[in-house]
Amino acid sequence: MSTKKIAVLTSGGDAPGMNAAVRAVVRTAISFGMEIYGIRHGYNGLLTGEVEKMGLRSVSNIIQRGGTSLLSARSPEYNTPEGVKKAADKCRELGIDGVVVIGGDGSFRGARDLTGAGIPCIGVPGTIDNDISSTDFTIGYDTAMNTAMEMIDRVRETSESHDRCSVVEVMGRHCGDIALNTGIAVGAISTLVPEVPFDFEKDVVDRIKEAQATGKQHFIVVVAEGVGGVNEICKKIEAATGIESRATVLGHVQRGGSPTVRDRVIASRMGYHAVELLRDGKSNRVVAMKGEDIVDYDINEALAMPRVFDEKLYQISMDLSR
């Protein structure tokens, strides 16, 4: 049998730990005696031929870096039947018989389509948002939460010095996981997430007033990106409580930075698993974490899974912040 040739790409939004995943895919493939190619700029690179052979040293000195050394892209051209066919033809031309796609749900749809066009693909979940239903953790999520926590700790110091309320928006798009966890970690008086409807008076104003009555003089409110409106929230808090309030939108600082131990290890395990699947002739699978285990699912099954929000953790966040 001829040597298996596989490729790896990163797609959609970058996330810290993607480099660790790329490194794992490259080194695992070489350990298994496969040829491994790196595709730059996501699916775009398949269309434009940005494909190069990787060796052990191609992934040196990247495990500690945020971003993605393979570069990422959103590719509208790929997202068409003609684009997918062109990408599959390119793989055939290069002799690539498997692709590991590191990205979010959109990238997984792309992987499913490429598999349908005859090139076996495996998806690896990489996004800071943790918005992929099939996995408990995505690569980059832990780093983003730690960055958000560290930034809010800084905001807290100035907020405390001036008896202020700081309203901080964290990322996560429609997913409140970053907000929920950082809210607990920074002791936010209130955490607003898109998954839980809230009553502004009861869930923000009353909580601030009750804590104020017991002597608390500075406050942090964490707001998920999917809720937004931090400037408006500040104005309403000031009007209702008289406490000076300042808005901070953390934004893309949460996307960068050196990945945490957890993200590096998860990325390494997932990258390894993805190559094992290709070695074993599997395709159209996504790698996932269930608890602390690495598992895999059919891509269509994974995309259809409902997202589960941790209601208990939300209750804990509310009960502890007083």
Residues taking part in catalysis = 129
Q: Helix (H, G, I), strand (E, B), or coil: what is residue 192?
A: strand
3-state secondary structure 97-133: CCEEEEECHHHHHHHHHHHHCCCCEEEEEECCCCCCC
CB of 238 to ligand ATP, least distance (A): 35
Nearer of residues 43 and 137 to ligand ATP, judged by Cβ = 43
- Of 5 and 109, which has the nearer Cβ to ligand ATP? 109
- Minimum CB distance to ligand ATP, residue 105 (Å): 5
Q: Pick the stretch among 103-111, 148-156, 163-171, 174-182 that binds ligand ATP (CB under 6 A).
A: 103-111
- Work out whether 109 is an interface residue with ligand ATP (CB under 6 A): yes
- Residue 45 is a binding residue for ligand ATP (CB under 6 A): no
Closest approach of ligand ATP to the CB of residue 109, in Å = 3
Determine the Cα–Cα distance for residues 123 and 85; give it in Å rounded to an integer: 19
- Interface residue with ligand ATP among 110, 120, 183, 226 (CB under 6 A) is 110
Residue pair 123/111 in contact by the 8 Å Cβ criterion = yes
Q: Looking at 32, 85, 106, 211, which residue binds ligand ATP (CB under 6 A)? A: 106
Alpha-carbon torsion, ordered 276, 125, 116, 284, to 10 deg? 40
Note whether 286 and 273 are within 8 A (CB): no
**Nearest residue (CB) to ligand ATP, 18 versus 165:** 18
Residues in 113-172 that interact with ligand ATP by CB under 6 A: 113, 127
Within 8 A by CB and 6+ apart from 2, the residues are: none
Which residues touch 150 (CB under 8 Å, ≥6 apart)? none
- Per-residue string for binding with ligand ATP, 63-82, x by CB under 6 A? -----------xx--xx---
By CB under 6 A, the count of residues binding ligand ATP is: 17
Instruction: Return the number of the residue (104 or 190) whose C-beta is nearest ligand ATP.
Output: 104
Neighbour order of strands in the sheet with 245-249: 190-192, 219-224, 165-170, 245-249
Residues constituting the chain: 322
41 or 207, CB closer to ligand ATP? Answer: 41
DSSP 8: E
Residue numbers at the binding site for ligand ATP (CB under 6 A): 11-13, 43, 74-75, 78-79, 103-107, 109-110, 113, 127
